[in-house]
Amino acid sequence: MTGVGAFGRLVGAGWTLVRNDALMPRELDPLYSSGVRTLSKALRLFAGRQARMGRPGERLARSLESLGPVAIKLGQLLSTRADIFGREFAEDLSRLKDRLEPFPTSVAKAEVEYALNRPIGSLFASFGDPVAAASLAQAHEAVLLDGRRVAVKVLRPAIARRVMDDSEVLALAARLVERWAPAARRLEPRGFAATVIRATELELDLRLEAAGADELGEVMAKDGYMRAPVVVWEGVGKRVLTMEWAQGWPLSEAAALTQPNLDRKQLADNLIRAFLAQALDHGVFHADLHEGNLFAAAPAQLTAVDFGIIGRLGPPERRYLAEILWGFLERDYERVARVHFEAGYVPRHHSVSAFAQALRAVGEPVFGRAASQVPMSRVLTQLFEITALFEMRLRPELVLLQKTMMTVEGVARRIYPDHDIWSAADPVVRRFMARELSPATRIRRLAGEAELAIRNIARLVEHPPTSATVQITDPRREQTALLWFAIGALASGLAFLAALLLR
């Protein structure tokens, strides 16, 4: 019955979009081919009265809000890319970030008391009405008994059930796309859906978000590009999170960018550098950096909130990302191409030189130009065509990284329309590459690999396989294994000593 229910909800989602004329909006009729235009007119016969109310973005926002948390998150992503979809469309979707319909304060107070297992007056001197309401939760302004001003995040009632229903629909949609749209299979729709579903599920436990905020707060403090409010641990439960109040204005408010003495260029630079420093230097990053989750204070202070989605990168992915960015910064397209092949992003039967040529066609027209001079919709179209030409498949483990990069770049453009993402990225990428390519780092990496090899050899010697074909029974083989163990130990010791000397 789960599959039947999910199919029914998927059909219902399509019907909601049709009724609001948000699936193929009439305003885009001039851009459709004749066949698509005929289909859009046929669908419009089923549109309701609400289809005549508002602009396309307003109708889409209304539809997504009624469809649930996962659909709302899609709208939040679209709202960050005014350069692709148009400023009016993006502004119409911006209400999905933090201006949804709140639930009553009395319900929120009951949720807080249940989650913390204590009377609300035992922790808070005052507890106000909602100041922001998003897809999964809403935030209340409160004051602790010690006088500190805090924000209390409370999950929406019955939200876990909604997320589960949305997840089933998304998984079904991914399976249908994979089956009936062969051209889309390289985008790994099922892997993409699984990543989104898992990230959303983790958002339903605010204890995990508190831990993520605490971890990223330590990471952010090392560079100062961005800040995180301090977690008030006695106010944390599975459905409740209490943090110190974020300074400044949320970027979703127009007043944020009209503050006196605000340095918009530096603010945009700090956003790009904060994200890259988190991802490259520490392998952990805030993966939901839309305007509703960012507060700005003059002259260029950024504070992030809502740490429900945390992205992580392993050492290989961090090096690949840095080398790709470094190659673009140096306009070394051959190097960028080689990294793509080394990482397995491009199948090896393709030509490295041909792929480098394609990358040059993308990079040269945009390098060093202000964001306002770069038609991002055209760049993305060209990138999509190139990835199809070279059979590049979506990597599920990089979905959060790619989504966050797209969001951050869009927000930086809105903060400072003439922003140059390459000059902003340069110092962070340059620092990472200098450290990664230094002799000390290479020797430490060699020491780590040698240590791993020793452990594997030791495990093999102590617990040899039981298979008759590989079991060590010959004394000479035992001596050989011990010899390799000794060589590995010596190599590891030398590497470790060198690392200490070069530190």
- Catalytic (active-site) positions: 288
Give the angle 495-315-205 at the CA atoms, nearest 5°. 135
Q: Give Cβ neighbours of residue 47 (< 8 Å, ≥ 6 apart).
A: 18, 19, 20, 21
Are residues 70 and 200 in contact, defined by beta-carbon separation less than 8 angstroms? yes
- Among candidates 105, 162, 109, which has minimal Cα distance to 133? 105
Find where tokens 């966050």 sit: 404
**To which residue do tokens 């500190």 refer?**
148
Q: Look up residue 356 and give its amino acid.
A: A
Whether the Cβ atoms of residue 322 and residue 433 lie closer than 8 Å to each other: yes
Cα separation of 414 and 38, whole Å? 36
Rounded to 5 degrees, φ, ψ at 330 are -90, -5
* Whole-number Å distance between alpha carbons of 94 and 78: 9
CA–CA dist 138, 100 (Å, integer): 9
C-beta pairs of 8-14 under 8 Å, 24+ apart in sequence: 9/165, 9/168, 9/169, 10/169, 10/172, 10/173, 13/67, 13/71, 13/169
Phi-psi group of 215: left, alpha or beta (phi > 0 → left; psi -120 to 50 → alpha; rest → beta): alpha
Distance CA 241, CA 155 (A): 9
Going from the C-alpha of 391 to that of each of 147, 385, 388, 398, the distances in angstroms are: 58, 10, 5, 17
* Order of strands across the sheet that contains 249-250: 249-250, 294-297, 301-304
DSSP-H helix ranges across 390-420: 399-415
Contact 193, 171 (CB under 8 A): yes
Q: How many Cα neighbours within 13 Å face the side chain of 249?
A: 16
Centroid of chain to Cα 90: 19
Cβ partners under 8 Å of residue 480, min gap 6? none
Closest CA to 229 of 240, 239, 216, 238: 216
Q: How far apart are CA 468 and CA 186, in angstroms?
A: 42
Contact 301, 247 (CB under 8 A): yes
- DSSP 8-state assignment for residue 204: T
498, amino acid identity? A
